[in-house]
Amino acid sequence: MTKLEDDIPRRPTWAEIDLDALAGNLHLIRERVGQGVSVMAAVKADAYGHGAVACARRLEAEGVNWFGVALPEEGIELRAAGITRPILCLGGFWEGQQQACLQQDLTPVVYRLDLIESLDRAAQAAGVVADVHVKIDTGMGRLGVRSEDVRQFCEALSRFRNIRVDGLMTHLASADDPAQEDFTKDQLERFQQAIDLFHDRGVAPRYLHAANSAGAFAYPRARENLVRPGATLYGLKRDVLPPNIEAGQLRAVMSVRSRIMLLKTVAKGEKLGYGCTFETTRESLIATIPIGYDDGYRRALSNRGRVIVRGTFAPVAGRVSMDLTLVDVTDVSGVSLHDQVTLLGRDGELSITAEDLAELTGTISYEITCGISARVPREYSDPATGE
């Protein structure tokens, strides 16, 4: 950001990040999984849109054991911000990144022998032993060593003298779906078979982990000695956990707000917005809000979404455009220019959740939070922890 941009006032659109809620969610998860189980906070994808650095700082202060990122680049950002807890690169690393992993003390997930060989060479040259977590594909079908190949893979690992298998992991595909319980149990059984194969060959990783948020809440067996919560850390639950699982007092961490930049009276029968998809059925008061789909307020909310103004729900009128959204505030008593508008979060007795927006747009709650773009500034409840 340039100096000029720092000096000028921002448009009144922002995301509030409640770090106290984040900390509370971490402690609730700790209570749920019990003593003896470490917690790896998933802060990949900029902490699901909440701001990885600020969230990691608060979580580290609260005693979280590990951080999970997708890419070494994300781990390097955390190290540059002073984060010291162990960091697991869940997607592994790309060719040429092995030295950065060693220099930044990042633990990669591994599943390819050629990449392990490159890491082994780099570790040998640096005079260190590199920790890795081996991922087993027990049915997700993305990354990992196929279950039927585990024996051969484990045997091949013995030739790498500067590699230590510190963890063994898998990922559950459908732990949130009670109808897929048999599949999830089959995945856990395959994972146990892989653990046994490693143990038979004298490899006893310190960490065993299979549970994402749904697994951690719904399948005690999946917890092993490390869990990897993501969405539940940020207070997302309705489309994350099985419907029969009580989530406790998880609290949403993100709210998104803006302010009315223009009010105008529109006659009955006028059409508004791109494509003229909204037509007034009465004389109406229409507010323009400085937020649009480039900010992450999805175009699919056109004529379907609603916001909160002065304690009243007000519907989106017409198509959400790139930078602006129209709202029908005819029924909002006393509405004025510059009034605050809540697009996500709580305002008084009313709330709009990420799950609500996800249901309207045919997606999942954490795609909603991940999608709030970087041009929406994050404001943190604890300024000392923010950027």
Give the rounded distance of the alpha carbon of 384 from its chain centre. 22
Picking from 293, 170, 157, the residue whose alpha carbon sits closest to that of residue 226 is: 170
- Convert the pLDDT of each residue in 36-76 to its tens digit: 999 999 999 999 999 999 999 999 999 999 999 999 999 99
pLDDT class of 247 with cuts at 50, 70, 90: confident
Residue 331: the pLDDT is 97
**Torsion on CA atoms 36, 82, 15, 235, rounded to nearest 10:** 0
CB 350 within 8 A of CB 306: no
Residue 7: the pLDDT is 73
pLDDT class of 386 with cuts at 50, 70, 90: very low
In whole angstroms, what is the distance from residue 44 CA to residue 66 CA?
A: 12
Residue 22: the pLDDT is 98
Express as a percent the part of the chain with pLDDT over 90: 95
- Helix or strand or coil: residue 307? strand
pLDDT class of 6 with cuts at 50, 70, 90: low
CB 197 within 8 A of CB 147: no
The DSSP code for 268 is T
Residue 381: the pLDDT is 83
CB 293 within 8 A of CB 321: yes
- Helix or strand or coil: residue 257? strand
Task: Give the C-alpha distances (Å, rounded to integers) separating 157 from 110, 132, 162, 220, 368.
Answer: 11, 11, 10, 30, 40
Q: Which residues contact 277 (CB under 8 A, 6 or more apart)?
A: 271, 302, 303, 318, 319
How many Cα neighbours within 13 Å face the side chain of 88?
Answer: 25
Backbone angles phi, psi at 174, to 5 degrees: -140, 35
Catalytic-labelled residue, pool 271, 274, 297, 380: 274
In whole angstroms, what is the distance from residue 144 CA to residue 90 CA?
A: 11
In whole angstroms, what is the distance from residue 285 CA to residue 380 CA?
A: 33
- Convert the pLDDT of each residue in 333-356 to its tens digit: 999 999 999 999 999 999 999 999
**Position 384 pLDDT exceeds 60:** no
- Convert the pLDDT of each residue in 271-302 to its tens digit: 999 999 999 999 999 999 999 999 999 999 99
Give residue 240's identity as a one-letter amino acid code: V
* CATH architecture type of domain 254-380: Beta Barrel (2.40)
CB atoms within 10 A of CB 230: 21
- Convert the pLDDT of each residue in 187-240 to its tens digit: 999 999 999 999 999 999 999 999 999 999 999 999 999 999 999 999 999 999
Question: Sign of torsion, CA 357 361 364 367?
Answer: negative
Domain with CATH 3.20.20.10 in the chain: 19-234
**Position 3 pLDDT exceeds 80:** no
Supply the angle between the helices 52-61 and 72-80 in degrees, to the nearest 10: 60
Active site residue 135: no
Length of the chain (residues):
387
Q: What is the CATH number of domain 19-234?
A: 3.20.20.10
pLDDT class of 387 with cuts at 50, 70, 90: very low
CB 51 within 8 A of CB 380: yes
Q: What is the mean pLDDT of residues 136-143?
A: 97
Catalytic-labelled residue, pool 44, 135, 237, 297: 44
Full DSSP string of 171-234: --SSTT-GGGHHHHHHHHHHHHHHHHHHHHTT---SEEE-B-HHHHHH-GGGGTTEE---GGGG
pLDDT class of 108 with cuts at 50, 70, 90: very high
- CB-neighbour burial class of residue 109 (10 A; exposed 0-12, middle 13-18, buried 19+): buried
Active site residue 274: yes
Residue 382: the pLDDT is 66
Domain with CATH 2.40.37.10 in the chain: 254-380
Q: pTM for this structure? A: 0.94
